[in-house]
Amino acid sequence: MDDDRRSPVRVGDQACLALGRRAMRRRRRARTRPAQAAGLAAGTRRVFRQLQTRMQEDFRLGVIALCGLVSVAALGGFSVYRFVRGDIALGVVDFALVLTIIAAGVHAWRSGDSRIAGLMMIVANTIGCVVVAALAGFTGLFWAYNAVVMNFFLGDRHPAVFASMALVIVIAFLPLPGVEPAQRLSFCATCALVSLYAFVFAARASRQAVRLERLAVRDPLTGVRNRRLFDLDLPRAVHDARAGRSTPALAVLDLDHFKRINDRHGHDAGDRTLVGFTRILQAGLRQDDRLYRVGGEEFVLLLKDVQVAGLTVLIEHLLTLTRTRLRSPDGPVTVSIGAALLRPDEDSSEWLARADKAMYEAKTRRDCGVISG
Rounded Cα gap, residues 120 and 125, in angstroms: 9
Piece of the chain touching ligand GTP by CB under 6 A; list 86-94, 209-217, 243-251, 256-264: 256-264
Binding residue for ligand GTP, selected from 94, 256, 289, 356, defined by CB under 6 A: 256
Of 93-101, 106-114, 145-153, 251-259: span binding ligand GTP (CB under 6 A) = 251-259
Nearer Cβ to ligand GTP (273/372): 273
Q: How many other CB atoms sit within 10 Å of the CB of residue 64?
A: 28
Closest distance between ligand GTP and the C-beta of residue 334, in Å? 9
Measured from the CB of residue 212, what is the shortest distance to ligand GTP in angstroms? 22
Answer for which of 6, 259, 264, 327 binds ligand GTP (CB under 6 A) is: 259
Among the listed residues 135, 157, 302, the one whose alpha carbon sits nearest the alpha carbon of residue 232 = 302
Q: How far apart are CA 332 and CA 253, in angstroms?
A: 16
CB of 268 to ligand GTP, least distance (A): 7
Closer to ligand GTP by Cβ: residue 123 or 275: 275
How far, in Å, CA of 152 to CA of 118, rounded? 10
Number of residues that bind ligand GTP (CB under 6 A): 16
**Least CB distance to ligand GTP at residue 44 (A):** 43
Question: CB 211 → ligand GTP: shortest distance, Å?
Answer: 22
CB of 333 to ligand GTP, least distance (A): 9
Q: Whole-angstrom Cα distance, residue 337 to residue 343? A: 19
C-alpha 309/C-alpha 190 separation (Å) is: 64
Torsion 166-168-172-176 (CA) sign: positive
Pairing label, strands 335-341, 249-255? antiparallel
Give, in degrees to the nearest 5, the angle at Cα 287 between 281 and 289.
Answer: 60
Q: What SS3 string covers 151-204?
A: HHHHCCHHHHHHHHHHHHHHHHHCCCCCCCHHHHHHHHHHHHHHHHHHHHHHHH
Binding mask 190-229 for ligand GTP (x = CB under 6 A): -------------------------------x--------
Please state the separation of Cα 241 from the chain's center in Å. 19
Question: Which one among 79, 262, 322, 372 touches ligand GTP, defined by CB under 6 A?
Answer: 262
By CB under 6 A, the residues from 325 to 364 that bind ligand GTP are: 363
d(CA 131, CA 340): 58
Q: Are 151 and 164 in contact (CB under 8 A)?
A: yes
Which of 230, 258, 277, 351 is in the footprint of ligand GTP by CB under 6 A? 258
d(CA 256, CA 258): 5
Residues of this chain, 267-326, that bind ligand GTP according to CB under 6 A: 267, 270-271, 274, 296-297
Q: Which is nearer to ligand GTP, 115 or 323 (CB)?
A: 323
Give per-residue burial for 182-192: e unless 16+ CB within 10 Å, then b.
eebeebbeebb
Measured from the CB atom, the residue of 152 and 258 that comes closer to ligand GTP is 258
Minimum CB separation from ligand GTP for residue 303, in Å? 22
* Beta-sheet pairing, 327-328 with 369-371: unpaired
Q: How far is the CB of 216 from ligand GTP (least distance, A)?
A: 18
Nearer to ligand GTP, 36 or 364 (CB): 364
Q: Nearest distance from residue 338's CB to ligand GTP, in Å?
A: 12
What does the chain come to in residues? 373
Query: Of 184 and 225, which has the nearer Cβ to ligand GTP?
Result: 225
Q: Is 112 in the site for ligand GTP (CB under 6 A)?
A: no
Task: Report the interface residues with ligand GTP, using CB under 6 A.
Answer: 221, 254-260, 262, 267, 270-271, 274, 296-297, 363
